[in-house]
Amino acid sequence: MSGPRHLVSIDDLSLAEIRELFERAQEFAQDPRAWAALCPGLISASLFYEPSTRTRLSFESAMLRLGGGVVTAADMRQSSASKGESLADTVRVVGGGYADIIVLRHPSEGAARLAASYSSVPVINAGDGSHEHPTQTLCDLYNLYVEHGRIEGIDVVLAGDLRYSRTIHSFAYALARFGANIICVPQAGFEMPEYVLQRLREEFGVEPLRADATRLGSLAAASDAMYLTPQKPHQLSLFTDARGWKVDRVDAVYMTRPQTERHGADDNKSEYLRLGKRAMAEESLRQAVVMHPLPRRDEISEEMDSDPRSIYFKQAARGVPIRMAILGTLLGRLDSQAEPGAAQVQRYPVTVGDNPCPNTTCISHTETRHVLPSYQLASRSPLRAHCAWCSQELPFTFVACTSTGHYHQAGAACLRRVRPDHLVFLRDEGQARALGFEPPQRSTRPCPQ
């Protein structure tokens, strides 16, 4: 018997499954009170190691609408975690008899993947550090689907703190999968992380271009805008010039607040982006809906609340039917005709040396008792690898082979022949020698195929 189905990443769902969730959500939205017979006797556990209002309450409301029950630990500082209990042990206890499904929010990137590996019931990632927030992404996609009737080919502005917002990262991946175009308008100093751009290039064929965002007016006045599109370079060459891709029309503006809980409040001295009616008066934005995952601060003026293009409160309300669809599906109470998501990427444990992940808030650093540092290969030529928990790219200048016992510079051609589970990623030659590896000329054994 196969294990439970989890929702750790938006990648866990195929596009067909996402569309099916949208259709289910529309059914639930017509009369949310009519579905109390779907999940009677089932219990959802809310494990929130970080504060939350909308995500936690919308999940709990969704479960109650389906006829189930809820147990909640809204502040895990008051739980056994304060006594040193590990996340792995917590989910084993909660999933061992307290609940039929777990909704988890945690400050460490990769925490949801760890929980899923130990849980006997489905785990839903309600946000893990600055990594991913797949159910918020589904909510955001669902709103675009409701407002525009499609996602393919639309143009979406992502504005504000693009570096630390987990919502933005998940949303960008999902938009790329659907074939939407993305205009990045970051707060100065908070641009989209390189590892996100790298993944968009490698996995989704997205081509980053400089954007000519002059028609976005004051929204992009102080930003180096970037246009991310799945169109091919030879197609783009027909339309772009030295000033960049001209942004003429936008379908949605997605504004984000500064994620000060993940960085110092004084990291950026410049005035934060602010969206108001003056900015939205630009011709290119006349038909654009305004979205925000909430909570907001001052990045959207209150004068926008009465603007018919502002849907951020509708956006929050629509989180209930989409989460009803997620819960019903993972609990096996909704039949699915869609093909499931792709098989999981192969992950390899780090068995030699220190944890190579550079991210200090990765779960592989913050909870070491039950977490074995692991990696996955992004490419063989050039050789690139990511932390299997938090997706951060691993920095290394030398790579060793555990079979031959020797090390090479990271760009050595022979590394392409080394089995992935025999690779050791090294900072420098000193670390290589300290771990007992030798230079290649001192070994005659060929690298294994």
Is position 260 annotated as part of the catalytic site?
no
10 Å Cβ neighbour count for 29?
Answer: 17
How do the residues of the chain divide into helix, strand and coil, expressed in percent and rounded to 5? 35, 20, 45
List residues bridging with 246 in a β-sheet.
212
Give CA angle at 325 (1, 93), nearest 5°.
Answer: 50
Is position 318 annotated as part of the catalytic site?
no
Is position 65 annotated as part of the catalytic site?
no
Residue type, 111: A
CB of 139 within 8 A of CB of 160?
no
Q: Of these residues, 54, 215, 274, 347, which one is catalytic?
A: 54
Is position 5 annotated as part of the catalytic site?
no
Residue type, 330: L
CB of 393 within 8 A of CB of 384?
yes
10 Å Cβ neighbour count for 351?
Answer: 12
Sign of the dihedral through C-alpha 368, 370, 358, 49: negative
Crossing angle between the packed helical segments 134-148 and 54-65, to the nearest 10 degrees = 70
Q: Of these residues, 24, 133, 169, 292, which one is catalytic?
A: 133
Q: Of these residues, 83, 234, 269, 442, which one is catalytic?
A: 83
Is position 408 annotated as part of the catalytic site?
no
CA distance 123 to 44: 10
**Strand, coil or helix: 73:** strand
Q: Of these residues, 6, 24, 105, 257, which one is catalytic?
A: 105
CB of 252 within 8 A of CB of 157?
yes
Structure letter (DSSP) for residue 77: G
Residue whose entry in the numeric block shows the structure tokens 């900072």:
427
Give CA angle at 373 (371, 375), nearest 5°.
Answer: 135
Long-range contact set of residues 205-209: C-beta below 8 Å, sequence gap at least 24: 205/230, 205/232, 206/176, 206/182, 206/230, 207/231, 207/232, 207/233, 207/236, 209/236, 209/240, 209/244, 209/245
Active site residues: 54-55, 83, 105, 133
